[in-house]
Structure 1
Amino acid sequence: MLTNIFIIAITAEAMSGALAAGRRNMDLFGVALISFITALGGGTVRDMLLGNYPVTWTQHPLYIYLTIGAGLATILLARFIHRLNQIFLVLDSMGLIAFTIIGCNVALKLGYDTPVVIMSGMTTGIFGGILRDIMCNRTPQVLRHELYASVSLVVAVVYLTLMSLGVSHGVNTWGTFFFGLLLRLSAIRWKLSLPVFSYSPGRWGD
C-alpha cells in the first residue's frame, strides 16, 4: 500500500514544486530541479544522514523520470490546477504520512534508536518541502501554516508506540496512516496550528 501511495505522493509533490518554481518565474531547468528536489529531497537527506547508501532514488530511475516529467507537465496543466486544489491537499497529506512511516522503517532496519527513527520519519516527510521553499527564497510553509511537521512527529510516535505494543505490521501501518491523515485533514479543515512566536524588537523595548 505504501509503495503505491509513495508513487502518487512524489508525483503530487513534484507538481507542487513546479508551481512554486513558476511563482518565481524560473526556466524549464529550474522547474525540473525544484520538482525533483521537492519530491525526493526528504528521502535523499534522510539517506545521507543515516549513511544509507546507495541513496534510494539512484536505484529506481523511474522516480527521476516521474518527478521531472510531472514537474514539466505541470507547466501545461497550470491553468487548470487551481480547480484541483482540494485533491492536491489530500494527496499531499497522504504523502506526508506515507513518507513519515517509510522513513521510520528505513531507520529501524538500520538499527537506530527511537529518537533517530522519529527524526528519520520527519526528515523524509517534511524536508522536500523545506528545500523547495528555501530554493524559492521563502519561509518554509511546513513551519508556519496548519499542523504539518507536528503531524509527522505524531505519526512517527504513534507508529512506534503501536509497534512496541506488539500490533501487527499491517494493522499498525493502516491504523497509523488513517489516523495521521485524519489529523492532517482536520488541521486543514479547522486551520489548526501551533502557537506562533512573533518577536518585534520595539515591542520588547530593545
Structure 2
Amino acid sequence: MLHILYIIAITAEAMTAALSAGRRDMDWVGVCIIAWITALGGGTIRNMLFDHYPMAWVEHPEYLLITAGAALFTPLIASFMGRLRKLFLYLDALGLVVFTLIGCQIAQEIHLPVTIVVFSGVITGCAGGVLRDVLCNDIPLLLRKEIYASASLVTGSLYVALNHWYHHTNLAMIVAGVVGLAIRLLSIRYDWHMPKFVYRDKWEH
C-alpha cells in the first residue's frame, strides 16, 4: 500500500514541479530535471547523508520514467491545472506524509538513533521541494510560514513514538500518516500559519 501511495506521490510532485519549471520558461529537459529533483531529491539527499545505497531511482529506474512522463504530460493539461489546484495541494500533502514515513523507516532499517530517524523523515519529505524552489528562484516553502515541515516533523515523531510504545509498525504508520495529513490539509483549508519572525533594523529606511 505504501508503495502505491509513493508512486502517486512522486507523480503528483513531478507534475507540480513541471508547473514551476514552466513558470520559469524552461525547455523540456529542464522540466524533466526539475521533476526528478523534486520527486526523488529528498530520498537522494537522505541516502547520501547516511551512506545508504543504492538510490531508489537506481534500483528502480522506472521511477525516472514515471516522473519524466508525468512532467511531460503536464503541459498538455496545464490549462486545466488551475481548476485542479486543490487536488494537487492534497496530493502534495499526501506525498509529504508518505515521503516522511518512508524516510523514517529507512533510517530505522540502518539502525540510526531516534532523533536521526525523525530527521531522516523530514529530509525525505521536504528536501525535494526545497531544491525545486531554489532552482526555480523561489523562496522555499519550508522557509515560509506554511505548516509544512512542522507537519512532517509531527508525522515522523508520532510514528517513532507509536512504533516504540506498541511495537506495531503498520499501526504507527497509519495513525501518524492520518494525523500528519490532517494537520497539513487543515492548514490549507483554514489558512493556518506558523508564527513569523519579523525584524527590522532601526537604521533601515
Offset at residue 205 of structure 1 (A): 3.7
Letter in 2 for 1:81: M
Structure 2 match to 1:72: 72
Tell me the alpha carbon deviations over residues 110-138 of structure 1, each in whole angstroms, 9 at most, x when there is no partner.
01001111110000000000000000011
**1:6 correspondence with 2:40:** no
In 2: Cα distance, 1:61 partner to 1:33 partner? 15
Structure 1 match to 2:187: 187
Structure 2 match to 1:139: 139
Letter in 2 for 1:78: A
In 1: Cα distance, 2:143 partner to 2:11 partner? 22
Correspondence list, 1:7-46, <5 A:
7-46=7-46
In 2: Cα distance, 1:68 partner to 1:166 partner? 40
In 1: Cα distance, 2:88 partner to 2:167 partner? 31
**Relative to structure 2, which stretch is displaced further, 54-63 or 161-170?**
161-170
Seq. identity, %:
46
CA RMSD of aligned residues (A): 1.1
Q: Is the 8 A contact 1:37 1:131 kept in 2?
A: yes
Offset at residue 149 of structure 1 (A): 0.5
Letter in 2 for 1:142: L
In 1: Cα distance, 2:193 partner to 2:143 partner? 10
In 2: Cα distance, 1:199 partner to 1:89 partner? 30
Q: Is the 8 A contact 1:47 1:56 kept in 2?
A: no
Structure 1 match to 2:86: 86
TM-score normalised by the chain length of structure 2: 0.96
SS in structure 1 at match of 2:47:
helix
Structure 2 match to 1:153: 153
Offset at residue 28 of structure 1 (A): 0.9
Offset at residue 167 of structure 1 (A): 4.5
In 1: Cα distance, 2:134 partner to 2:58 partner? 24
Letter in 1 for 2:169: H
- Structure 1's unaligned 5+ residue stretches are none
SS in structure 1 at match of 2:139:
coil
Structure 2 match to 1:108: 108
Offset at residue 198 of structure 1 (A): 2.2
Aligned pair count?
Answer: 204
- Structure 2's unaligned 5+ residue stretches are none
